[in-house]
Structure 1
Amino acid sequence: MTTHHRLTAEGLTLGYGDRTVVDSLDLSVPPGRITVIVGANACGKSTLLRSMSRLLAPRAGRVVLDGKEVHRLPAKELARTLGLLPQSPIAPEGITVADLVGRGRHPHQGIFSRWNEKDDAAVAAALEATHTEPLAERAVDELSGGQRQRVWIAMALAQQTDLLLLDEPTTFLDASHQIEVLDLLTDLNRSRGTTIVMVLHDLNLAARYADHLIALADGGLHASGTPAEVLTEATVRAVFDLDSRIIEDPVSGRPLMLPIGRHHVLDRAEAPPAGEPAGRAPGRAPL
């Protein structure tokens, strides 16, 4: 079974150059659960994940893992506990899928240790779970965007960490593969107890798969809690400047967000007379 670790942010302030992206943020990641971070573009979602994995040093505050600041932990020690799949990873030119996935085992290699059967098994399991075994001997740069994304996820799985951070893991994937990947991560969480934190753009997928939902806005924490507590019409309006209706998802029983665009709301004064097709103004000839 996976060990449950405590990951928190305390008064965290992050930025680039003269720009502050996250300001005085406090949050706690529930151990052994799936946390999904949502928010508008450029609100700090990816920046937060980078700092939680020690890739970005905070301007103020700290990220704490089991009582220790992550930025003070040795990189290899942290990598045996916490794995990160960034938003746009870059593979070395010409590297094969099997070799890239195998790099997920590097944190488990000591100075004198050699590749062993446990490493083989971890890579094989990761390839199987992501349905990338047929691609094992192909060069990563020959793959489609969706195939590459699944290979990167396989590398993260091969690392076999107790905490896994993923920045938009469904990028480049079609609808079927998005569900497949999110089901895979859910199975990993349920079977091993892996704590998963991921950024998703699709609010309805976030609500369906999250145990804990975090909404960021204006450089801070706007709301956190269960999907039912966070995904409300008021939150969607405040965080995304979007009017919506929230109903119950008939499949999952979770909240389902229906966006309301201004072209989808028919004002009574503009409604076509009875018997005239909707979609064109009364009296206007069809094109």
Structure 2
Amino acid sequence: MTTSHSLAAEGLTLGYGDRVVIESLDLAVPPGEVTVIVGANASGKSTLLRSLSRLLRPRAGRVVLDGKEVHRMPAKELARTLGLLPQSPVAPDGITVLDLVGRGRHPHQGIFSRWTDRDDAAVASALEATRTTELADRAIDELSGGQRQRVWIAMALAQQTDLLLLDEPTTFLDASHQIEVLDLLTDLNRTRGTTIVMVLHDLNLAARYADHLIALADGRLHASGVPEEVLTEDIVRAVFGLDSRIIVDPVSGRPLMLPIGRHHVRSRPVPSAGPADATEPAEPVDLAEPPSSARSTGSAHR
């Protein structure tokens, strides 16, 4: 694997029908890092990811991979370098887990090439990494939502690309499996140098796992940088319309966002003044606790 690939958007304008979703956006994906895109619903996160992978053609501007416009690249050439896991992938009826994950090897197959031991090893490694080996002979439509998501991630891993784009890879997963998948992607980045770009809704998981955060608002790039620069109270308010408090995550040392709502913070009432020997009023107690979605300590962040 290599970290030398460059992926960038230049003056990118995207939309559907008469609706413009992204307008005049410029950004560069840091090579060899984990980039997480955040933003409110309908801010353009998934649309941006679709365009970076050339599934959506720009109305204006371009997406450039290693100096080449992605929409002008042969499909297999692009697929050997860049992989995508969309938000709601659809599998053919009756296909088994093993067959689906094996399709991740398609970009590496020529017209006359045969399935090789290398392909077998890539599929087996992807199944093992996502803990889906025991599901290999099961049909996809027999699996739970969480199992299906792990199988789709296995297919993306089997593709063995240097850049991997994932739209909400923790969809349908419980808290334990969310951490497991994000740890897996981070390990892939650390050990193989794979550039990861993913969309996440959970701001605290985004801050914990990202080397680089991108915050979209109303189809424009509102902020980008390291989590400490992007996950601030002012930016959370501007991007999400949410008042919050930012503290330090006791596990990762990254910023941790505590939302403020009418029922999120409660204080004990201060009693009225009494006799001189009465008990002094207690200090207000903040009952807001950090969210439970904290990164496991088993895969330490560098």
TM-score bucket of the superposed structures, by smaller chain: over 0.9
Instruction: Report the TM-score when normalising by structure 1.
Output: 0.93
1:77 is aligned to 77
Residue matched to 2:24: 24
Equivalent residue number for residue 245 of structure 2: 245
Q: Secondary structure at the match of 1:56?
A: coil
Contact 1:32 1:194 in 2 (8 A): yes
2:40 corresponds to 1:40: yes
8 Å CA contact 2:3, 2:31 repeated in 1: no
Deviation at 1:218, TM superposition (A): 1.3
Label 1:223 to 1:260 Cα distance change in 2 as closer, same or farther (>3 A). Answer: same
How much is the aligned-residue C-alpha RMSD, in angstroms?
Answer: 1.5
CA contact (8 A) 1:49 1:165 kept: yes
Residue segments in structure 2 that go unaligned for 5+ positions in a row: 273-280, 285-302
Kept in 2: contact 1:43–1:217 (CA 8 A): yes
Q: Compute the displacement of 1:130 (Å).
A: 0.2
Whether contact under 8 Å (2:123, 2:158) holds in the other structure is yes
- The 5 Å alignment of 1:106-185 reads 106-185=106-185
Return the letter of the residue paired with 2:76: K
> SS state of the match for residue 201, structure 2?
coil
Q: Counterpart in 2 of 1:201? A: 201
Q: Moved runs in structure 1, 4+ residues, more than 6 A? A: none
Secondary structure at the counterpart of residue 155 of structure 2: helix
> Normalising by structure 2, what TM-score?
0.88
Kindly provide the amino acid, as one letter, of the partner of residue 106 in structure 1: H
For 1:12, the aligned partner's letter is L
Matched residue, 1:214: 214
**CA deviation string 1:145-166 (max 9, x = no partner):** 0000000000000000000000
Quote the Cα distance in structure 2 between the aligned partners of 1:68 and 1:55.
16
Secondary structure of the 1:88 match is coil
For the Cα contact (< 8 Å) 2:214–2:221, is it kept in 1? yes
Question: What residue ranges of structure 1 are gaps of 5+ in the alignment?
Answer: 279-287
Question: Cα distance, 1:4 vs. partner?
Answer: 2.1
Find the aligned partners of 2:180 and 2:267 in 1 and give their Cα distance.
Answer: 40
- Structure 2 CA distance for aligned equivalents of residues 265 and 192 of structure 1: 43
Percent identical across equivalent pairs? 85
CA distance in 1, matches of 2:270, 2:109: 70
CA contact 1:14–1:58 (8 Å) conserved in 2:
yes
